[in-house]
Amino acid sequence: MKRALGTFALLFLGLTIGLPLGIYLVQRKFVDKEKAIGLMNEEGLVDEYAKKEFIYADAQTSREALTYAINIHMEMQGESTLRGWPEKSDLGWCFAELSLIEESAGNTTLAENYMSQAQQILKDLGSKDSSERHIREILHQKLVSAQPQSRALSK
C-alpha cells in the first residue's frame, strides 16, 4: 500500500511540474517558428521592394529600402532556423546594390565596405565568380534591362 501511495505521489508530483513546463515549452517552440516564418515573409517582401527601388527610384529611397532589407536579413540571421541560401544570396546582392549607391554618392569607404561584404557572402555561397567586376556587370545588366521598361511606363 505504501509503495502504491509513493508511486502515486511521485506521478502526481511529476504531472504537476511537468505538464505546465511542457505546455510552456511547446508554446514557446511554436512562437519561435511563427516569428521565423513572419520574418521570412517580411524579408521576401522588403527585399523585392528594395530591388525595385534600386532599379526605378532615386538614390535616397533606394538606400533606405536596401538598409531596411539588410536589417531584416540580419535579424533573420539571429532568429530564424528557416534561413537558407536564397536569403543569404539576397543579402549579398543588397550589399552590392547599396555599394553602388554609396559610390555614386561619393562615399567610397562605405561603398568598398559594402562591396567586400557582398563579395564575401557570395563567395561563401559558392559563387563561381564573386569578383567586384562580375558583381558590377550583373548589376549593370539589371539596370540596363530595366531602362526601356521604365521609359515605356513614363510615356
Q: Domain residues of the chain, as ranges? A: 38-154
Percent over 90 (pLDDT), the chain: 12
Query: Is pLDDT of 80 > 60?
Result: no
* Mean pLDDT, all residues of the chain: 78
Tell me the pLDDT tens digit for each residue of 95-120: 999 998 999 888 899 999 999 999 99
Give whole-number Cα distances, 89 to 48, 70, 104, 133, in Å: 13, 11, 23, 17
Query: Is pLDDT of 11 > 90?
Result: no
Give rounded-to-5 percent helix, strand, coil for the chain: 90, 0, 10
- Separation CA 89–CA 128 (nearest Å): 13
Find the range with the poorest average confidence among 37-46, 106-115, 135-144: 37-46
**Rounded average pLDDT over 67-92:** 76
Most confident of the ranges 18-22, 27-31, 129-133, 144-148: 129-133
Tell me the pLDDT tens digit for each residue of 30-39: 556 667 777 7
Query: Is pLDDT of 155 > 50?
Result: no
Grid cell locating 59: 538614390
